[in-house]
Chain A
Amino acid sequence: MSGRTPAARPLFQNFKPKSPNYQMKRNTPRKPGLAWLSLFGCTLMGAGLASAPAEVTNVEIVHYFSVQGQTDALNQVQKDFEAANPDIKIHYTYVPFAQLVSRTLQMAAVHKPPAIAAIDNPDVLRIAKAGILKDISAEVSKFPVWNEIYPGPKAAVSDGSKVYGMPIGSNSLAIFYNKKMFADAGVSSPPKTWAELTEAATKTTKPPVYGIVFSAVNTEESTWQWEPFLWSNGGSLGELDSENARAALQLWVDWVKKGLASRDVVNWDQGDVPNQFETGRAAMMEIGPWRLGTVKKSGIDFGITTIPVPKEGEKPVVPLGGEVWCVLKGDSKVEQAAIKFIEFTQEPERLRKICDTFNYISSIRSVAQQQGQANADLLPFVEQMDTARARSQDGGAQYPAISLAARTAIQKALTGQGSVEAALKEAAAKIKPLLGTK
């Protein structure tokens, strides 16, 4: 209505049929005129849309990136790509993290799949099993960067013969340490082995400061945070009743029992963990490169070291994080446009820019090495890329169910509801039928 007055009553009066204002509005010919005009406009627009697809291919991309730097990078790529390919239009659709998989499945189920989905790497092979992802092995083999992809990310996107996507970039875990707390406690060098790690944690634990903080919350985060220790010790989720797995979990349980880590780790997710570190309540934390920006902002003088290994000279084996561009089966023209877009993102210089703004390590060796040379904070993560494993290498499509059993064991042992052996044995009994082993 036109009369926007501060008091409520005059505004209300406008709606009264007897109000002269209302009458005037009713009888004025301008209103239907406007309606017709807007209807006409809509028709024009509709006609415009209807005639356009003859030339323009629309590529819809679903993703869950919401951090400013990430969205900026995506928008820049879109701008550059559309300038180079005027016949293709990119549309980003944001979906919250927890809903991405179910939403993508839904869209495919009603035959309106997005052209591309940015899927979390452990989910790729599982979703491929549903038959909605296009095998792009023929296309990616022509990408110049494909020969340089690290073995871990490669395993995440392919089941051996078929390839279901191209990694955007990777991340993993390392140990961040507070340099001042290390110096105060007389720890001269960052820990390289489990023994050194426990020693450093013991020395730096000065209530209320804990020596180390990690996440053992009842989500995938706890399995993912434990895997570096399990895998570096030669264990696997498929054999949780092995001695390798027992020792890896015992390491965590001992930290909590001795008070080097808070009992609350079973409730801390990967947001709470850096909060403890950044506010000076922990001397070390296990976290990934995505947090670098905030840690720097906290003003804490920190260093980063690779995940300590059981014995000196061994290589740390960390799980891979990061998303994968996956093409969904659909209209062949859209599929081709989607592949074109993915290829565009994989040009080395552009790929490096994307990974830098995402704080990811490129899954392509030469690009990752450039990143490490330019930014010392990323170096430990780059070093770990050679031996890093995809989580789907440990259980394939059954990974989520296996991970669930594993983290129940982690939580049981950490909260003292059972011995490490008993908790792991129970988990192993649940996992073996899933894998079809005995």
Chain B
Amino acid sequence: MMKLNARTPPNDPPAVRVPDGKPAVADQPRLAGRKRPRFDTMPYLFILPCVLFCLILLLYPVVYSLTLSFRQATVDTFVSGDMPFNGLIQYQAALADPVFWRAVINTVLFAFFSILFQFTIGFLLALLFQVNFPLKNLCLALLLIPWVSPVLTAANIFKGLFNEAGPINQFAHLVGLGPFPWLANPAYAFPATIVANIWIGFPFNFVLLYAGMRSIPVDVYEAARIDGAHYWQRVAKITLPMLKPVSVAVLMLGTIYTVKVFDLVWIMTGGGPANATHLLSTYAYQVGFSLLNFGEAAAIATLMVLLVLLLNLLQLLLRRA
């Protein structure tokens, strides 16, 4: 809340302070003797825009989407606005669709492998960057490129790289392998999208972990060194535990970021071949905007939010254990 009090004169002389830094006792009665301040609307006015923003742009769409998932909202009913409530029918329809379950499994696997590699790569790089070496700052800047490059561009580049006649297969050919049908075969296409997502997401993990490591006091390491702990012992016994609050935040944000990935997969495979790479996000989009079944798409989106909550809850439990 705001601590600003508009009626306090700005040039109030500082309260007399006793040497230990606390306000002198003589100051207290003056405050107590004042009339009880009347309700101050000013601070609330200040936060009003923010509250309105949250209500209109964040809460309303969520609630609307939720209600939509219980209504029969298709092309025929959307315009007239009389979308009748049909209970759980759309959830049943979604749950009965094998493509939905494929998308659920894909989303979980996509998130798991993406985060596993993003976090590991980010952590190892962060360790490396604790050491000083020439051109460190340049490398630091270069490592951020995947994170700042637009996903649209990155996805198209990966699509080109994984092309049957693309650079990756040419390289594989040099070492006597392939050609692999990277994006043309369901068994390869899904890992290919994960690889692309790892590339896009690892700098985010790296930057946060790097900053987290820098905030660990050096003397802890020095003490350990004197005690004779070697490098990996220091990493395992000091860096990892002291980095826990940062890691928790990174993993949680990573889960959210990864579960909602849409553009990358949509551009690289469009959810194909034969629905093999659909995530919940691309599947919901297809149902909503290609089939124009808004109600079922909203139901899928709601289930997707539940999945994010579930995954984060799982992480929480794992951490407690």
- Spell out A's residues near B (CB within 8 Å): 98-99, 101-102, 105, 108-109, 126-127, 129-132, 208, 217-220, 262-267, 269, 281, 400-401, 404, 408, 411-412, 414-417
Contacts and interface: CB of A to CB of B under 8 A. Distances in A.
Interface stretch (B182-190, B195-203, B219-227): B182-190
26 contacts: A98-B289, A127-B75, A130-B76, A130-B80, A131-B80, A208-B165, A218-B272, A218-B274, A219-B290, A263-B184, A263-B185, A266-B183, A267-B159, A267-B184, A267-B269, A267-B272, A400-B291, A404-B290, A404-B291, A411-B272, A411-B273, A411-B275, A415-B186, A415-B274, A417-B273, A417-B276
Contacts of A269: 270
B76 A129 contact: yes
B251 interface: no
Contacts of B122: none
B271 interface: yes
B49 to A, nearest CB: 21
Contacts of A109: 78-79, 81
A267 B79 contact: no
Contacts of B78: 105, 109, 130
Given A102-B289, A400-B292, A130 B274 contact: no
Contact of A218 (B76, B275, B291): B275
A126 B79 CA distance: 13
- Measured as residues with beta carbon below 8 angstroms from the partner, the interface class of chain B is 20 to 34
Interface in B141-165: 159, 163-165
Contacts of A130: 75-76, 78-80
Contacts of B183: 264, 266-267
B154 to A, nearest CB: 16
A363 to B, nearest CB: 25
Nearest to A207: B165
Contacts of A220: 290
Nearest to B163: A264
A263 B186 CA distance: 12
Nearest to A113: B79
Contacts of A208: 165
A34 B152 CA distance: 45
Contacts of A101: 292
Specify the main secondary structure of chain A where it touches its partner.
helix
B289 A267 contact: no
Contacts of B289: 98-99, 102
Nearest to B166: A264
Interface in B166-189: 181, 183-186, 189
Task: Sort A-B residue pairs by CB-CB distance and give the 6 closest, nearest first.
Answer: A218-B272, A218-B270, A263-B184, A411-B274, A266-B273, A412-B274
Contacts of B275: 218, 408, 411
A259 to B, nearest CB: 10
B88 to A, nearest CB: 21
Contacts of B181: 263-264, 415
Contacts of B80: 130-131
A378 B78 CA distance: 40
Contacts of B186: 415, 417
Residue from A130, A281, A414 with most neighbouring chain B CB atoms (10 Å): A130
A218 B185 CA distance: 13
Given A130-B78, A218-B272, A267-B273, 10 more contacts: A102-B289, A129-B76, A130-B75, A217-B270, A262-B184, A400-B290, A404-B291, A411-B273, A415-B273, A415-B274
B179 to A, nearest CB: 9
A408 B268 CA distance: 17
A408 B290 CA distance: 14
B274 A417 contact: yes
A238 B181 CA distance: 32
B164 A264 contact: yes
A201 to B, nearest CB: 17
Contacts of A265: 184
Interface in B265-321: 268-276, 286, 289-292
Nearest to B268: A267
A312 B133 CA distance: 73
Residue from A263, A266, A267 with most neighbouring chain B CB atoms (10 Å): A267
A404 B274 CA distance: 10
B275 to A, nearest CB: 6
B79 A408 contact: no
Residue from B184, B271, B289, B292 with most neighbouring chain A CB atoms (10 Å): B184
Interface in B224-246: none
Interface string B70-92: 00000110111100000000000
Contacts of A127: 75
Nearest to A256: B184
Contacts of B164: 262-264
A412 B273 CA distance: 7
Residue from A102, A129, A269 with most neighbouring chain B CB atoms (10 Å): A102
Contacts of A400: 290-292
A99 B285 CA distance: 12
A417 B273 CA distance: 10
